Amino acid sequence: MIAYLIVFLFGLVVGSFLNVCIYRIPRNKSIIWPSSRCPNCNATIRAIDNIPVISYILLRGRCRDCSKPISVRYPVVEALNGIFYVILLWRYGLSTGTVAYMAFFSALIVITFIDFDFQIIPDVITIPGTLISFLLALFIVIDPFTGQAPIGLRQSLTGLLLGFGLYYAIAVLSKGGMGGGDVKMMAMVGALTGWKGVLFTTFFGSLAGSIVGIALMIFRGKDRKSRIPFGPFLAFGAALYILAGKEIIYFYLNRL
Ligand SMILES: [Zn+2]
């Protein structure tokens, strides 16, 4: 039980850093320096006001200096990251492979919020992410199907090539509907989860995207031309594969 608490708190602290990444990476600012500032009044945030989730509650969601509301997204990102870390620990136990998945989920959270805000998926995440995923796949990444590590060279390489090739083809055919950021993101997803992960992510990402897209058309009157970022749905599909892909696939196979 204590392990879950420690991992949750660790997830919150990492989540706090993810907020910095989400804000600064698309603005081409350093994620290391300077320390966090209020986006409204530019006052440096005190250490006591920088405690994940807790400070937001104590400050009642307002900056101590200028009292402008702080976006609820900051504690949401922190909590989301902490909760995912706990679920991953529960699903895969304490191992280096689980830590690799934690880092991957954090990257997915950053990609999701940046793509949502700016309709871009930064290369500084996906290109190193693909290389690191490939290296980790050779040694520690757990195969969600077998529960064993490593997922290995063949799976990782076929996943990387399928993710890149399939989405490159979609990007060309859709004439920019799918962007280069999505292509590189799926190379990363493939390098970490293998070709099964790419197919699963594509199916469930498209399903979730279609449902949300249709709902937006109905309720907000968005026409089919308005762009919906696809990165968050791909992130959803990849996360679902790692957390429950095996169960979902077996559930469908058993019904055939
Ligand atoms: Zn302020």
**CA 50 to ligand 1 center in whole angstroms:** 13
pTM: 0.95
> How many other C-beta atoms are found inside a 10 Å radius of the C-beta of residue 17?
18
Cβ-in-10-Å burial (0-12, 13-18, 19+) of 161 comes to middle
Helix count and strand count (H, E) for the chain: 8, 0
Cβ distance 205 to 236 under 8 Å?
Answer: yes
Q: Quick one: angle between helices 231-255 and 180-219, nearest 10? A: 80
Instruction: List the chain pLDDT tens, one digit each, 256 residues.
Output: 899 999 999 999 999 999 999 999 999 999 988 889 998 999 999 999 999 999 999 999 999 999 999 999 999 999 999 999 999 999 999 999 999 999 999 999 999 999 999 999 999 999 999 999 999 999 999 999 999 999 999 999 999 999 999 999 999 998 877 889 999 999 999 999 999 999 999 999 999 999 998 888 888 776 655 677 999 999 999 999 999 999 999 999 998 7
**CA 56 to ligand 1 center in whole angstroms:** 13
In this structure, which residues have their CB less than 5 angstroms from ion ligand 1? Answer: 38, 40-41, 63, 65-66
How far is it, in rounded angstroms, from Cα 62 to Cα 9? 23
